[in-house]
Amino acid sequence: MSSMLEFDEAAARSMEAMYMTPDVVGQRARVIDMLCPRPGEHILDVGVGPGLLAHDLARMVGEAGRLVGLDPAPAMLKMARTRLAAMPYAECVEGDAGNLAFADASFHAVVSTQVYEYVAALPKALSELHRVLKPGGRVLILDTDWRSIVWHSSDAKRMERVLAVWDDHLSNPHLPATLGAALRRAGFSVTRVEIVPMLSPHWQPVSYAAGIMRSIRGFVAANCERHGLAAEEVQAWYDDQLRLAERGEFFFSLNRYAFVATR
């Protein structure tokens, strides 16, 4: 049984902080560069989360355009709506990737970062995406493959056990490896695939690595017993990272994969 991450107020706050670190600011710049949003376009952000990307996109489509952020989590919607409040051509709606409440061919582009890995019924969600895009419209999906992680530890076996529990926080921790084929099956042409790394070759307190380390500790501590892992081991794993950081031996690298496709 999987007990996925809950996107409540606490998660929204920690995600917002993590997504303001230079690593994720850089990711957003890459995403915008690959999506090429233009003034006047109608863009949908599936799984809008804290609304940081949606805010940048709304500014780029401008008053002649439209930005819609969709999310099922009330805490995320609240945060995104606050962020977008000054732009009347941007709105956030409650909804699910598996059932998009928009007319056929509503959008010039759809973007979704770190969302489809949480969606269990992927074929249905991608066919919905295809339906709401205009012919020739483009989609950008970015997700993490947790198998790509290179994370130094004094106890490699313990690191493996902790990350095995963390894999349960989403529906598919290895989505990128099959996403291109899934997009093609849904009728898209995949035009570009790029790696977006989250790299901390040394300890940086304000970084994606430091933020995700705290999230992993929280999730794994709450779910460890089902996997036969003691809470003390989770804390020992976390403390080990801090000691490595103090000694100048911290190293973290993880890949996200951005797919651009057209309808």
Interatomic CA distance for residues 262 and 241, integer angstroms: 42
Kindly state whether residue 7 participates in binding ligand SAM, applying the rule CB under 6 A: yes
Q: For residue 234, which amino acid is it?
A: V
Kindly state whether residue 77 participates in binding ligand SAM, applying the rule CB under 6 A: no
Q: Which of 26, 62, 72, 180 binds ligand SAM (CB under 6 A)?
A: 72
User: Of 19 and 107, which CB lies nearer to ligand SAM in the complex structure?
Assistant: 19
Phi, psi (deg, nearest 5) at residue 152: -70, 140
Q: Which of 34, 43, 44, 53 binds ligand SAM (CB under 6 A)?
A: 53
Interatomic CA distance for residues 24 and 20, integer angstroms: 6
Residue 115's nearest CA partner among 211, 44, 13 is: 44
Q: Which of 96, 194, 233, 240 binds ligand SAM (CB under 6 A)?
A: 96
User: Of 196 and 229, which CB lies nearer to ligand SAM in the complex structure?
Assistant: 196
User: Of 118 and 257, which CB lies nearer to ligand SAM in the complex structure?
Assistant: 118
> What secondary structure letter does DSSP report for 99?
B
Kindly state whether residue 122 participates in binding ligand SAM, applying the rule CB under 6 A: no
Kindly state whether residue 115 participates in binding ligand SAM, applying the rule CB under 6 A: yes
Interatomic CA distance for residues 187 and 121, integer angstroms: 16
Interatomic CA distance for residues 80 and 192, integer angstroms: 28
What is the contact surface with ligand SAM in residues (CB under 6 A)? Answer: 7, 15, 19, 46-47, 49-50, 52-53, 71-73, 76, 96-98, 113-115, 118-119
